[in-house]
Amino acid sequence: MLEIADPIELERPQDKLIRRLCASLSGYLDQTQIDQCVHAYEVGAAAHSGQFRKSGEAYICHPVSVAISLAEMRMDANGIMAAILHDVIEDTPVSKKELAAQFGSEVAELVDGVTKLSKIDSKSHAETQAENVRKMFLAMAIDLRVIIVKLADRLHNMQTLGVMPAEKKRRIARETLDIYAPIANRLGMNNIRQKLEALSFEAMYPMRHAVLNNAVKKARGNRRKIVDIIESTIKNRLEQAGLNCEVAGREKNLYSIYKKMLNKKISLADVFDVYAFRIFCDDVDTCYRVLGIMHNLYKPIPGRFKDYIALPKANGYQSLHSILMGPYGVPIEIQIRTHEMHRMSESGIAAHWLYKSEDDKAEKFRDRANEWLRDLLEIQKSAGDSLEFIDNLKVDLFPQEVFVFTPQGAIIKMPRGATIIDFAYAVHTDVGNACVSARIDKQLVPLQTKLENGYTVEVITASWARPNPLWLNYVITAKARSGIRNYLKNFKQLEAINLGRRLLEKELQSLHLHLEDIDKEKIQALLQVMSKQSLDELLEDIGLGNKMPFLIAKRIAQDDIRAVLKLEDGDQTKKKPLIIKGTEDMVITLAKCCRPIPGDSIIGYFNPGKGIVVHHHECRNSSLVIKKQINWLDVEWSEDAVGDFPVEIRIEILNQRGSLATVASTISELNSNIENVTVVDQDDRICVDLITLTVKDRVHLAKIMRRLKELSIVVKITRVKA
């Protein structure tokens, strides 16, 4: 045990704290483990020697206070040591290697996971914090104790915010409400969540907190009598039924009251008018018996019953919730759960260490948490940057679940408002990427259909399918959004590389060269000069229009260019046009001003970052491109170009009933679809319309226009090319 020689030093705050920690640890750890924790304290105290917090107390008081919080949760010895040492890597010269040598690699990894990143080259404080959270989640995936230590650390920081400037208080409180309190909730650590929310509310809105606190204190006195009457009635009825249950009145915390007033735009009197009680039972069967007794005692309010025992929340929370109409017409909120469920609801994932000797319930909590972390890891791998990851995380931290079934009868939880696309990605990322349609209760439905409780969902996939960028407007889960973005980002990259290769090959052919024949050392030297890591990276830049292919080709061929210049005039190679199929939609764009289609004479130009923009040769804009745009190139349609291409026609028809319907049905008969109709001019005799329709090629368009000209109602028809 710790020995302190000088009696005067017994009054130091850190000595009081370490004695308090040892007393707490003695309740569940053996003496050897306690001695290890004391040794960690001695190392931490020496490392932090001379460091003080803004409050003036020795810095070591903070990590010991964090360790005390964890000891109350019965954290294991390694977790306690990590808590005591959690700031030494960040704030002292002690290294991770030195920690591993003294306390083992497990403690060193835990400390490193909690440690903030230093010297981050970030553009803003927000990015720095986002990167810290991202690193913390990576460490969590290895060991869940990282987040438990971090939450205890944040809790003590919130408890000692008093000396901070007001602006910093608000910023830390906002971060706590946005990230840490929801994480505690997601991991089922209800006790810590409520403390974090209460402290954050007070730091962010001190005046609102004070006013609301005073109002609640005044209202509490008037409520006491009603609470006692209801509690006594419930206890008597349970005793009559021969059930040994514990009944406790429950009061909403201030932040919960404030949120309810804000979201529902109601007064304190309306929020405080609900009387809440918890009933603790010995087993699950008794919970349901008690529910029946309560519904007989007071009438339940329809639609206000939730069974979280049969269908637990995502964080493992289990309880029966019901709203009843009590005496004097006041609503009563009843929560019925077992003692074990209550312990789990307060401690959450920490129950893995707290109650693991009693049964395997805590293992289920850990499995749930690990499943959530696996999803987050998948998201973070594809997130573009830390801020995008944080946005995804925030979406994931505020779920309101609906329960749907797979065709095999498995239950899958989805956030409220989730669509079939979200469901497909929840099943597996590959299923989401390949989904084309779905059936709900055996009826075909659109992919953007929102899910409701009890739906049986069957996703239909196809090997040729790929995500549509429009899906991002429908999905709400982080996993689906991340999966779609990642696929589209990689798909665009692949298309850009293929297009860049074709463009470079075309330019090299004009110089009597081929890319595969170029010496690898020469390619490597070029990549080094252009600061590119690989040939694919250079080809992607060419495909996106950021680099000119003929300039790259000339640099590659600079040793051989003289041979090309010596060719006889009649032997000079003509540049071949670039062949396009019209399916390269991520890197080749068809101009909307002239809407070129297969069979048209076309011209293209490079638009940096977007690739190639293709115009009709007769388009007014294309002549401007040729005059002003030095990055233009000859392109032509492939003979096997396939797809539906939009084209615009101007049609003058007789202004009589049914004319437009006749035109539309004629277009439909010829396997074309109308995308848009705009009325340009109209009088008593003639109506002029602009119609955007889809065609296969120039021949298909000619056939449609010829058929329309045969209609007696059509006066004139032309194609719009600019």
Q: What is residue 179's DSSP assignment?
A: I
Q: What are phi and psi of 245, to 5 degrees?
A: -125, 155
Cβ(291)–Cβ(320) below 8 Å? yes
Cα–Cα distance, 34 to 30 (Å, whole number): 6
User: Strand 611-616 and strand 457-461: pairing?
Assistant: unpaired
Which amino acid, 91?
Answer: D
Q: Which amino acid is at 275?
A: Y
Place of tokens 């602009």: 690
Cα–Cα separations (whole angstroms), residue 555 to 520, 611, 629, 647: 14, 21, 22, 40
Q: Which residues pair with 613 in a beta bridge?
A: 589, 605
Minimal CA–CA distance to 209: which of 168, 169, 249, 152?
Answer: 169
For 85, phi and psi rounded to 5 degrees?
-105, 10
Q: Residue 333, class by beta-carbon neighbours within 10 Å (0-12 exposed, 13-18 middle, 19+ buried)?
A: middle
CA Rg value for the chain:
35
User: Is there a contact between 77 and 37 (Cβ–Cβ < 8 Å)?
Assistant: yes
611-616 and 602-607 strand pairing: antiparallel
DSSP annotation of 560 reads T
Residue 277 CB partners (closer than 8 Å, separation 6+): 230, 231, 234, 247, 248, 249, 250, 332, 333, 334, 335
Q: What angle do CA 300, 301, 303 make, to 5 degrees?
A: 115
Task: Label each residue of 403-423 as H, E or C.
Answer: EEECCCCCEEEEECCCEHHHH
Please, where are the H alpha helices in 532-631?
A: 535-543, 549-556, 561-565, 620-628
Query: Residue 554: phi, psi to the nearest 5?
Result: -65, -35
HSE-up of 617 (CA within 13 Å, CB side)? 10
Q: Alpha-carbon distance 218 to 376, whole Å?
A: 45
Helices (H), 57-165: 61-72, 77-84, 88-91, 96-103, 105-114, 125-142, 145-159
Integer Cα distance of 385 and 120 in angstroms:
13
The catalytic residue positions are 90-91
DSSP classification of residue 584: -
DSSP-derived letter for residue 160 is: T
Q: Which two tokens stand for residue 593?
A: 């001003």
Tell me the two tokens of residue 19.
Answer: 């004695």
Task: Tokens for 391, please give them.
Answer: 């946005």
Residues 6+ apart with CB under 8 A from 343: 351, 354, 355
User: Do 693 and 704 contact (CB within 8 A), yes or no?
Assistant: yes
Question: In this structure, are residues 454 and 448 in contact, taking their beta carbons and an 8 Å threshold?
Answer: no
